[in-house]
């Protein structure tokens, strides 16, 4: 019985010491961004049932010779979100892990303290590369296409993200201009205009002036039109074209001879419509002209923002935006099976399984969660709970120490009695 007491005390001290170490580690990382708390679970050693006639007794009918640590499990509870002043600081609001390319391979973390290094690589605070899918719409510092979304690639195709410090949104010159206006029946000057973009990234003006033709050929009505393209200051005229509009007796447009005009080297197709869809000449009220043109002025990069879908969005001085990449969020069949390699860094193991991406009903890879920028996820350790556990474990350690001391005294007395 005394030997059993020794086993009980020694195993209890060993288990308590392990649990104290785990809890102390939790407490020391209470402010470590992305840290996952670990909890210890105990089990009995050689637990045997005691014969008893009272099967309904509330007292345990088993006895063991000590305790052991059964498992040290990771807590998956989300830590509190803390505010940040950087758009590149990220927090995952649900399940998932950021993927990071370290010197020893791919590691996974909830620590979204990211930024750009001197080479414009998207990296962690330690300088490790963040993984994701590139939009492949940047070439030689120029945006080659506008993307609303970058589709997340497969797990094996995720790569290191890099985004240039300077990026140009190229100008797209105006090629088409549409106008709608009722000229009315009175012989009065009517005008319509629009801002148009040339290939040199200049914003110019296109102005149309309508005047009733001096010579009319009944039963329809004829109007003359003069189109002019100028720079925005009206100092330089790029082109002037004239044409004639022929309307039927009801004011519907039958034909026009004005079809194109030059805009500082770019040809603009002028669409005045047909029938009543465009320019008309009816007795209804004359309202302000409506114009519709294509083309966009170029712009320079203002900066990058990250959306809740982990899209890296480039914003330009012309007010336009485009996605240029997507940050990957990985998932595991068993998150608690991940092997810890640092404060808030983990790697896959045979228990966690391989990293995967969630998929929608169409088989497209998706994040399966949302990401918040200007936020970081703090440690999920609750300091008040951890300190209480530490006190309980310390008392348990002291109790097991007394068990050993008492068993030692009893053994000593037994030896003395035998002598």
- The band of 233, judged by pLDDT with boundaries at 50, 70 and 90, is confident
Beta bridge pairs of residue 119: none
**25-49: pLDDT as tens digits:** 889 889 999 999 988 876 666 555 4
- The band of 321, judged by pLDDT with boundaries at 50, 70 and 90, is very high
Q: What is the pLDDT of residue 401?
A: 76
Q: What is the pLDDT of residue 411?
A: 72
What is the spatial distance between Cα 91 and Cα 390, in angstroms, rounded to a whole number? Answer: 29
Q: What would the DSSP string read from start to end of 359-392? A: E-TTS-EE-SS-EEETEEEPP---HHHHHHHHHH
CA dihedral 9, 12, 13, 19 (to 10 degrees): -170
**97-125: pLDDT as tens digits:** 999 999 889 999 999 999 999 999 999 99
Q: How far is CA 150 from CA 96, 121, 244, 323, in A?
A: 19, 18, 48, 7
Residue in 111, 138, 65 with CA at minimum distance from that of residue 375 = 111
Mapped onto helix, strand or coil, the DSSP state of residue 118 is: coil
Find the radius of gyration of the CA atoms of the chain. Answer: 38
What is the spatial distance between Cα 167 and Cα 141, in angstroms, rounded to a whole number? Answer: 5
> Residue range 79-98: average pLDDT?
95
> Residue range 326-336: average pLDDT?
96
Domains defined for the chain, CATH in brackets: 2-76+379-418 (no CATH), 81-169+300-377 (no CATH), 177-293 (2.60.98)
């Amino acid at each position: 019985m005394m030997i059993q007491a020794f086993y009980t005390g020694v195993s209890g001290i060993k288990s308590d010491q392990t649990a104290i170490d785990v809890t102390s580690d939790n407490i020391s990382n209470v402010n470590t961004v992305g840290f996952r708390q670990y909890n210890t679970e105990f089990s009995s050693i050689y637990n045997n049932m005691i014969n008893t006639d009272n099967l309904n007794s509330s007292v345990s009918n088993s006895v063991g010779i000590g305790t052991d640590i059964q498992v040290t499990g990771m807590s998956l509870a989300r830590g509190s979100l803390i505010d940040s002043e950087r758009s590149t600081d990220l927090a995952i609001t649900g399940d998932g892990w950021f993927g990071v390319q370290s010197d020893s391979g791919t590691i996974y973390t909830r620590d979204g303290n990211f930024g750009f290094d001197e080479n414009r690589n998207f990296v962690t605070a330690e300088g490790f590369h963040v993984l994701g899918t590139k939009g492949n719409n940047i070439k030689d510092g120029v945006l080659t296409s506008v993307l609303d979304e970058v589709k997340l690639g497969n797990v094996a195709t995720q790569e290191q993200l890099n985004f240039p410090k300077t990026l140009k949104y190229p100008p797209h010159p105006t090629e088409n201009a549409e106008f709608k206006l009722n000229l009315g029946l009175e012989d009065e000057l009517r005008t319509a205009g629009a801002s148009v973009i040339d290939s040199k990234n200049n914003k110019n003006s296109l102005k149309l002036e309508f005047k009733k033709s001096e010579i009319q050929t009944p039963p329809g009505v004829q109007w003359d039109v003069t189109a002019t393209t100028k720079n925005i200051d009206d100092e330089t005229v790029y082109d002037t074209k004239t044409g004639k509009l022929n309307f039927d007796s009801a004011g519907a447009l039958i034909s026009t001879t004005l079809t194109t005009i030059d805009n500082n080297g770019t040809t603009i197709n002028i669409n005045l419509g047909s029938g009543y869809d465009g320019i008309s000449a009816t007795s209804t009220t004359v309202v302000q002209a409506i114009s519709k043109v294509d083309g966009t002025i170029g712009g320079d990069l203002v900066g990058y923002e990250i959306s809740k879908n982990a899209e890296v969005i480039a914003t330009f001085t012309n007010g336009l935006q485009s996605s240029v990449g997507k940050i990957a969020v990985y998932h595991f069949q068993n998150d608690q099976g991940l092997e810890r390699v640092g404060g808030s860094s983990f790697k896959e193991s045979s228990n966690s399984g391989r990293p995967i991406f969630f998929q929608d009903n169409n088989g497209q890879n998706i994040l399966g969660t949302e990401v918040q920028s200007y936020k970081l996820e703090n440690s999920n350790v609750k300091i008040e709970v951890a300190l209480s556990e530490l006190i309980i474990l310390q008392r348990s350690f002291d109790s097991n120490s007394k068990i050993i001391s008492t068993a030692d005294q009893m053994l000593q007395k037994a030896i003395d009695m035998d002598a």
